[in-house]
């Protein structure tokens, strides 16, 4: 299954195969860093606002696709908030991976991570930062980067299929 996290409320990009789409609906509360998703309800956020199952969805996906405005070389605040609320995807224990200390995966799936960024007048430095950030996210998820694309507007994404 593909999991798409997007900041586009009226998301209409065609998707091949089974997918789950997380997009803005109501308010999302920020992660409080309480670690309840590790201790009280392993794998599930303790904040009940409609986004508490994000970690579980990541645990079921084979591909995670971020469709987001590029904000200073990062994802939009909404997409970042959803990613933060998925802390439960990882396990509190640590492992060495590629000579770096990372959290263990809670689930057995290996994620392919892709991003479709949009934003007018993105600089080369912002694009480089976004590529590095996605690679770091893939390392943290113990996954791999599949592809990264940049578009000037959301309308330019009208010809793609995810």
Q: The CATH number of the domain where 52 resides is what?
A: 3.40.50
pLDDT number for residue 146: 98
Domain containing residue 94:
2-159
In this structure, are residues 67 and 6 in contact, taking their beta carbons and an 8 Å threshold?
yes
Give the total number of structural domains in the chain: 1
Alpha-carbon distance of 145 to 63, in angstroms, equals 10
Task: Give, as one character, the DSSP assignment of residue 146.
Answer: E
pLDDT number for residue 80: 97
DSSP element (H, E) containing 100: strand 100-105
List, for the chain, all residue ranges whose pLDDT scores fall below the cut of 50: none
Using the CB atoms, write b or e for 95-104: b if 16+ within 10 Å: eeeeeeeebe
In this structure, are residues 104 and 94 in contact, taking their beta carbons and an 8 Å threshold?
yes
């Amino acid at each position: 299954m593909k999991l798409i996290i997007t900041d586009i409320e009226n998301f209409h990009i065609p998707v091949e195969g089974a997918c789950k789409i997380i997009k803005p609906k109501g308010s999302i509360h920020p992660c409080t860093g309480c670690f309840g998703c590790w201790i009280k309800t392993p794998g599930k956020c303790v904040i009940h606002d409609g986004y508490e199952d994000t970690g579980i969805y990541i645990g079921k996906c084979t591909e995670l696709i971020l469709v987001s405005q590029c904000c200073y070389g990062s994802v939009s605040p909404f997409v970042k908030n959803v990613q933060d609320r998925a802390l439960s995807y990882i396990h509190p224990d640590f492992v060495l991976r590629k000579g770096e200390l990372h959290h263990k995966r809670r689930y057995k799936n290996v994620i392919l991570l892709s991003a479709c960024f949009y934003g007018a007048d993105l600089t080369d430095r912002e694009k480089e930062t976004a590529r590095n950030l996605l690679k770091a996210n893939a390392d943290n998820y113990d996954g791999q980067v599949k592809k990264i694309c940049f578009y000037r507007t959301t309308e330019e994404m009208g010809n793609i299929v995810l």
